[in-house]
A and B are shown apart, each in its own frame.
Chain A
Amino acid sequence: MKMKTVVCYKWVVSDDCISVSPSGNLEFKDVEYDISEYDRNAVEAATQLAERTEGLCVALSAGDETLVKSQKATLSAGPKEGYVVIDPIMDKADCMVTANVLAEAVRKIGEVDLVLCGEASSDTFSQQMAPRIARELGWPVATYVKEIEPGNGYVTVTRELEACVEKLELRLPAVVSILGDSNTPRMPKLKDVMSAGKKPFTRWTVADLGVENTTAGLEIVSLAGNSTDRKTIILEEDSLETTMEKLLKSLIEEGVVG
């Protein structure tokens, strides 16, 4: 059965660009954007499924104008088409609003068999998208997925949880979230990057989708840099022997050894 997969990705500020100054201020330097880490695994999984079933993989995201620049990164990694919802509403969107927007976009894309998300985004790490999108669409969902096998009208997924490994059959259409490290995202070749700019890349606003509920329920009051609570004492004596002696002495003084 040919599968049409939609992979939802988040376009985030690269972790390396974010730092905390000694005085505790959050700093963004030489800002660069990238596909959120686990979403890359989702892109790879979605692409593989489409390839195996001779179907179609498309990419979907919602955010601000910076999303326009995601075309090359996303469409060179496997998906054949891209859809982006760019709207000021996304500036204050919480997970509920984002899920409403993405779910409506999936409806508008149409005839979708499987929606894939990364297990969590590298910036806010809420881990809510897949279950929320599924609930909004009325589709079954499986999270913590490391393997997907396509079937006829269903997929068999393997989930990895704290205490067990679970195999589930999900009737399609369905939603899954993919664990990071569950596959190796392909390295785009030069020709993939060049052709990415020519693939269909559709832009919508929230109004185009007819989303009903766009009022966020959580409002950010403040954002503060965390100087680590940890002491970060790097021990370095004349020899490794004396360094380890100093370490042991410190741990005894801390009361965690002896």
Chain B
Amino acid sequence: MDKKILIFSENLNNACEMLAGAKALGDQLAVVYIGTDKDAKELVAHGANTVYLFSKENNVPYEAYAEDIAAIAMEKSPNLIMVGMTNRGRTIAAIVAQALHAPCASECSSLKLGNDGKYVITRKIYGGKATSTEVCTADTLVVTIPMRAYEIQAADNTLSGEIVQLERNASVAMKLIEESSKSVDSVDITAANTVVLFGRGLEKAEDMAMMEELAELLGGVTACTRPLAVDYGWMPTSRYIGLSGKSVKPALYLDIGSSGQIQQIAGASDSKIIVAINNKASEPVFNECDYGVVADLYEAVPILIGLLKKLF
């Protein structure tokens, strides 16, 4: 194959996932990571031939490392740069791509190495209505990869690799003033098997109790759309699904009282089964569900709760 791959992620697990996926795409695997020596050894155990390690500094956002990552890329000329698709990852990927004057394919649904040695990607455009298949004609391709796109493999401590400790070089004209963690609670909606999402169809905060009851009967968790968390403050900001929020991949996803605009439902598009309950038949969510019920949620949800109670 003779292809060099450079991987970057803010998240150790995600970097290990991409290492697993990278095996089909190249044979020299390097990872840039901001963390500890222990993290670097973990990456080697997951297949990294080289780890470029930076120490995490306080008050320095990850984006400040973009120039250093670009410098490594410019020196080593990888054929493929895989970047974990967090909010910051997307930004870093674009900066690194521009530094190399390389193309960047965001949020690929698939990534393959063609027989002619060129990388081919597919991605969704037009709000998910179309799939674009694109071939990279440049020497280096940058791609952003969603979390859990590849399955992490077991660590192999017999593997060896080079760990190169580096120091952040570039100075950036940005100063971090304040970072406030989004109000978090003990619930991790990204790990749940069932998610009950509600949107602006819910009239008042007290009505969330009904959604909690439904979620509990289904053995799942509740989540909401962005306005309910950010504007109304009904839920912690770690509990909303959408572009600047979380993405989930449950077996069952209920979308209740939310229109299902593409950037919203994209956060749950990998769910096994999607159910929509909304009182407007024309809402986009009905084109993106497996089962849909056009009804007032204040009638439909209590009925569903009653049926589930009889069941269990």
Contacts and interface: CB of A to CB of B under 8 A. Distances in A.
Interface of A: 15, 18-20, 26, 94-96, 99-100, 119-120, 122-128, 130-132, 134-136, 139-144, 156, 160-171, 174, 179-181, 213, 216-226, 228, 230-236, 240-241, 243-245, 247-248, 250-251, 254-258
Interface residues on B, range: 35 or more
A231 B177 contact: no
B130 interface: yes
30 contacts: A18-B129, A26-B129, A94-B103, A123-B125, A123-B126, A135-B98, A136-B98, A140-B172, A142-B174, A143-B91, A160-B244, A161-B244, A168-B61, A168-B175, A171-B173, A213-B101, A216-B103, A218-B141, A222-B133, A223-B132, A223-B133, A224-B131, A226-B128, A231-B291, A234-B294, A235-B292, A240-B299, A243-B293, A247-B275, A257-B218
Contact of B178 (A131, A167, A234): A167
Contacts of A123: 125-127
B192 interface: no
Secondary structure class of chain A's binding surface, majority of residues: mixed
B24 interface: no
B289 interface: yes
Secondary structure class of chain B's binding surface, majority of residues: mixed
Contacts of A243: 293, 295, 300
B273 interface: yes
A149 to B, nearest CB: 11
B153 interface: no
Interface of B: 61, 63, 86-88, 90-95, 97-99, 101-107, 120-121, 124-138, 141, 172-182, 184, 194, 218, 226-227, 230, 237-238, 243-246, 251-252, 263, 272-275, 281, 286-295, 299-300, 303-304, 307-308, 311-312
Contacts of A100: 101
Contacts of B281: 234
Contacts of B126: 15, 18, 26, 123
B286 to A, nearest CB: 6
A240 B295 contact: yes
Nearest to A134: B95
Given A168-B61, A233-B292, A234-B292, A96 B103 contact: yes
A119 B243 contact: yes
B129 A96 contact: no
B98 A96 contact: yes
Given A131-B92, A141-B63, A168-B61, 19 more contacts: A19-B129, A123-B127, A124-B125, A127-B90, A128-B94, A162-B245, A165-B180, A166-B176, A166-B178, A166-B180, A181-B227, A219-B135, A219-B137, A226-B128, A240-B293, A247-B293, A251-B275, A254-B272, A256-B194
B200 to A, nearest CB: 12
A256 B104 contact: no
Contacts of B238: 163
Contacts of B178: 166-167
A226 B109 CA distance: 13
Contacts of B227: 181
